[in-house]
Amino acid sequence: MPKAPDKKPEGGFDPAQMQKMHKSRGEMLKENFGAIKWALKKFFGYYPVLAPLAMFCVLFSAIVAAVPAVFIQKILAVIQKWVESGDWAAARAELLPYIFTLIGLYLVSICSLTLETQLMAVMTQGFLDKLRREMFNGMQDLPIRYFDTHKHGDIMSFYTNDIDTLRQLISGSLPALIRSVSIVIAVFFIMLWYSLWMTLVLLLGVAAMFFVTKTIGGSSAKYFMSQQKAVGAMEGFAQESMNGQKVVKVFCHEQQSIEDFDKVNSELFDVSYKANAFASTLGPIIANIGNVLYVGLALAGGLFILTGVPSVSISGLFFDITVLVPFLNMARQFTGNVNQLSQQINSIVMAGAGAQRILSLVNEPPEVDDGYVTLVNAELHPDGSVTETEEHTGHWAWRHPHGDGSLTYTPLRGDVRMVDVDFAYVEDKPVLHDISVYAEPGQKVAFVGATGAGKTTITNLINRFYDIADGKIRYDGININKIKKADLRRSLGIVLQDTNLFTGTVLENIRYGNLSASREDCVKAAKLAGADDFITRLPQGYDTELQNNGANLSQGQRQLLAIARAAVADPPVMILDEATSSIDTRTEAIVQRGMDKLMEGRTVFVIAHRLSTVMNSDVIMVLDHGRIIERGSHEKLLAEKGTYYQLYTGAFELE
């Protein structure tokens, strides 16, 4: 059942969170733009030639967009001369070069814009494709702890909402930003060329624009950053709810689930509303300041002409109607692009928030693997010597390099020993205390105890999903910290209590345990696990498609497929974590026969609540609060009449 969020004041974040947000606003913005810088560096790194070419096309079209004002002034001056002189032939001779040059520039600009849009379409999708691959590949190297401590829905948000903010940045905001900045700069210098006084009047209005943009845009920025986090939290909650929908319905918890979702969704609504309210207000205010500024410039220009104010300009041109008209057009162009720049703030901030979250995933420390002992195919000789071979012989050995350059090979036998092991998932909260386990090759070792006693934790340590705090774990006499994790896990087969099936055929799900296994190997493993009977009765048998974690199969059938998957891997050590917990008694008897064959000659660790499944174990260990309180065979433990005896006779229950 999804955990209800902490109680918050109605309508949004609590005061403490808001205070923290205001305190760290500058730091948040710094991190935000640092993440944008990282994303752009990635983009230009992926496309070192095409990206600058596309940006050049944007720059060129922007400059061309600023040039017409110059031509308009020239054309108006020619027209004025024509009106005064009446010499059309001379005027036409001057006008035609300006007109044809302007047409030529526009044609080149159209080609430039077409090239830019096509390049950006290809590069944007290519950038997202490469970035998603980098994110997913990096995620495969993260430790199990990361997935145990992060909501899966929030992780999925990295690949959907956060990556989409970068799409908007690259395909929309970045070209628009370059285009607007270029036009603003070009037009500003052209206006300075024509009239200093008019440019100063314009700058007064622009100062007001920047003040409004900073005030309102800065307020929306912090809410847009919070919005991305709230979206991830909402998606995480929604996924938990969907995964636990059966539990919700069984316990008639629909109304409480709705209320819990409303709280999470209200937080998202609150920050989204505030972010978009500020952002939506900014555009109209800037646009109307531009309109007022346009009127003010027209009045000021008319006043300058009527009063004969001396013209101060770089060009030295006399300020008259031929300068005022194009200047007003440039002012409209200038303020329009300033408004466009202000509108990009929202997308840029959202992209920064998304990039910041993606960067946190990319920068997440990978699982540490300092092992150097590897698993290799081996040939065992009668004299006890071992040699490495390229061909699969059915035998394996540990390849152990030494500092002097020599190599030693240790046959893989499945001897696992834990000596005085302590472990805690959270510091100062130990889960295991002084655990010692000795599993010789071919032995079946069972762990019995209440939920939370530490049974699964022991198997997690053998797999090195987590590393121990103190003690030693040796595998065939080798400290497992020296063994590369991939090779260690390749030598271990595991059947978890929670079965995960992937979208694909039944055969592909079994082959997941050994990708090189043939169809015959998979069928043999299924028969060994007792799964062949129900598989052959499926619509397409082994080629039946499974979806949604095998929702069309019963829990017991899914567990049988997991056992078959472990069987096809054919490892020397097996870990069965409640492997038959979801199987009825009749099916369990079938599976147990297959499991007995599977366990022959292998070291097996069994975790079970049903004592009937561990009675034939060589060693049974009873755990209580992270300590081994009893150990021995079934008969020995019964004779001692301790905790195991009480469990077996029903005097105590595991829970």
- 94: exposed, middle or buried (Cβ count in 10 Å: 0-12, 13-18, 19+): middle
Q: What would the pLDDT profile of 469-496 be if each residue is shown by its tens digit?
A: 889 999 999 999 999 998 998 888 888 7
CB 544 within 8 A of CB 508: no
pLDDT confidence of residue 43: 93
Cα of 455 vs its chain's centroid, Å: 32
CB 335 within 8 A of CB 290: yes
Average pLDDT, the chain: 80
CB 573 within 8 A of CB 493: yes
Q: What is d(CA 557, CA 336) in angstroms, rounded to the nearest whole number? A: 65
Torsion of CA 114, 115, 121, 124, to 10 degrees: -140
CA angle, 487 then 493 then 495, to 5° = 140
DSSP state of 491: T
CB 630 within 8 A of CB 622: yes
Q: What would the pLDDT profile of 236-256 be if each residue is shown by its tens digit?
A: 777 667 666 655 665 566 777
In the three-class reduction of DSSP (H, G, I as helix; E, B as strand; rest coil), residue 141 is classed as coil
What kind and span of H or E run contains 145?
Answer: helix 144-148
pLDDT confidence of residue 349: 78
Q: What is d(CA 26, CA 33) in angstroms, rounded to the nearest whole number? A: 11
Residue whose structure tokens are 């993440």: 35
Q: What is d(CA 339, CA 469) in angstroms, rounded to the nearest whole number? A: 59
Beta bridge partners of 376: 397
- Nearest Cα neighbor of 328 from 107, 76, 110, 103 is 76
- Nearest Cα neighbor of 578 from 535, 613, 630, 628 is 613
Q: What would the pLDDT profile of 574-622 be if each residue is shown by its tens digit?
A: 888 876 666 667 766 766 666 676 777 788 898 877 777 788 888 999 9
Cβ neighbours for 378, distance < 8 A, ≥ 6 positions apart: 386, 387, 388, 389, 393, 395, 396, 397, 409, 411, 412
In the three-class reduction of DSSP (H, G, I as helix; E, B as strand; rest coil), residue 628 is classed as strand
Q: Which residue did the predictor score with more confidence, 538 or 231?
A: 538
Domains and their CATH numbers in the chain: 31-362 (1.20.1560.10), 374-411 (no CATH), 416-649 (3.40.50.300)
Q: DSSP assignment of 240-281, as one string? A: HHHHTHHHHHHTT-HHHHHHHHHHHHHHHHHHHHHHHHHHHH
Q: pLDDT class for 416, splitting at 50, 70, 90?
A: very high
Range in 11-15, 204-208, 513-517 with the lowest mean pLDDT: 11-15
Q: What would the pLDDT profile of 341-389 be if each residue is shown by its tens digit?
A: 777 777 787 888 888 889 888 999 988 888 899 998 888 888 878 888 8
Residue whose structure tokens are 């992780």: 155
Amino acid 324 reads L
What is the token pair recorded at 383?
A: 């004299």
Residue whose structure tokens are 């008969």: 635
Average pLDDT of the segment spanning 624-628: 90
- 121: exposed, middle or buried (Cβ count in 10 Å: 0-12, 13-18, 19+): exposed
In the three-class reduction of DSSP (H, G, I as helix; E, B as strand; rest coil), residue 288 is classed as helix
Query: Residue 278 pLDDT more than 70?
Result: no
